Amino acid sequence: MEYYDQHMHTNFSFDSKEKMENYLSLVGNRMVTTEHLEFNNPEEKNQDSVPDYDAYVKEINRLKEKSGKRIYRGVEIGYSAGQEDKIRDYLAKHEFDVKILSFHQNGDLDFMNDKVRHMDPIDVATQYYKMMWKGINAFHDADILAHFDYGIRKLNLTSGMFQTTAGVLLTNIFKIAIRHDMAFELNTKSMYKYHNIGLYDYAIEIYKQLGGKRFTIGSDAHDAKNVYSHYDEALEMLKAHDIHHINIYSNNAMTVMPIDDVDEGIRY
Ligand SMILES: [Zn+2]
């Protein structure tokens, strides 16, 4: 069986210009894109960023036919306070094979905005994880909890600082995620582009010790050249934590896949 990237974007997301077609030659027989659903998006003047679903499905069908590959529909649900009803309403009306849940913003500020660099890191971390804690209690209808460290990508927190500031909150967040069968995402962009490998070592162990058993790897690619980025390293990290499988979501079903089988699968 073959693993495939569980987090990537095309021009159906507000912040990507990549054509879906450009990923096709770089992946195996299966692929999913996870497009942004972000209501009240501060990065877009608080407009709603919503994928053009009809055009999305049409493009998937066109490329399925052309390539013979299986292409799934995915969404990255950006939760923010007060938007629950709109999110639920949208998801009730549009079908997706894979749903990932993200916390990007607080209504005024996306935590990847450069302003964050000039703020007090401890304040940012405290604010971000309190927000995530409230958010995941209010909304947890998803398969995967994406990049748990999104809000602190722009900071240089050591694992020690992180633990003191946000350790208890993160533990409580993971308890809710596990209760709702959400997978832990190894976001290779966070790990390798934003140098948060240490935080992932710390967080994987917490998630695992709380009984969490589901793990996905997502590149968070916004252009085709980043698909599968640092996959092998992420697999090695899981093995180092004595985790020997990864999970795949497709057609609203979850598959467990031994890591030893992956090695053959993802090299093209
Ligand atoms: Zn994403």
pLDDT one-digit tens code per residue, 87-104: 999 999 999 999 999 999
Whether the per-residue pLDDT at 267 is higher than 60: the answer is no
Query: Tokens representing 84?
Result: 């629950």
- Report the alpha-carbon distance of residue 105 to residue 41 in Å, rounded: 8
pLDDT value for 100: 97
- Report the alpha-carbon distance of residue 68 to residue 64 in Å, rounded: 5
Whether the per-residue pLDDT at 135 is higher than 70: the answer is yes
User: Residue 63: which residues within 8 A CB-CB, separation 6 or more?
Assistant: 20, 21, 24, 69, 71
> Over pLDDT 90: what percentage of the chain?
92
Give distance in angstroms: CA of 34 to centre of ligand 1: 7
pLDDT one-digit tens code per residue, 146-199: 999 999 999 988 889 999 999 999 999 999 999 999 999 999 999 999 999 999
Name the band, by pLDDT with cuts 50, 70 and 90, for residue 260.
confident
Instruction: Determine which of 79-83, 235-239, 261-265 has the lowest per-residue pLDDT on average.
Output: 261-265
Name the band, by pLDDT with cuts 50, 70 and 90, for residue 237.
very high
Give distance in angstroms: CA of 45 to centre of ligand 1: 19
| Amino acid residing at 145 | L
Domain ranges (residues) in the chain: 21-265
Give distance in angstroms: CA of 79 to centre of ligand 1: 13
Give distance in angstroms: CA of 9 to centre of ligand 1: 6
Give distance in angstroms: CA of 100 to centre of ligand 1: 9
Query: Tokens representing 179?
Result: 């209760």
Residue-averaged pLDDT of the chain: 94
User: Minimal CA–CA distance to 38: which of 115, 146, 122?
Assistant: 146
CATH 3.40.50.2000 fits 21-265, yes or no: no
Which residues have C-beta under 5 Å from ligand 1, the single-atom ion?
76, 220
User: Minimal CA–CA distance to 221: which of 14, 23, 29?
Assistant: 23
Give distance in angstroms: CA of 118 to centre of ligand 1: 24
Give distance in angstroms: CA of 47 to centre of ligand 1: 18
Give distance in angstroms: CA of 189 to centre of ligand 1: 10
> Over pLDDT 70: what percentage of the chain?
97
Asked if residues 40 and 108 have their Cβ atoms less than 8 Å apart, the reply is: no
Q: What is the pLDDT averaged over residues 28-46?
A: 96
pLDDT value for 263: 56
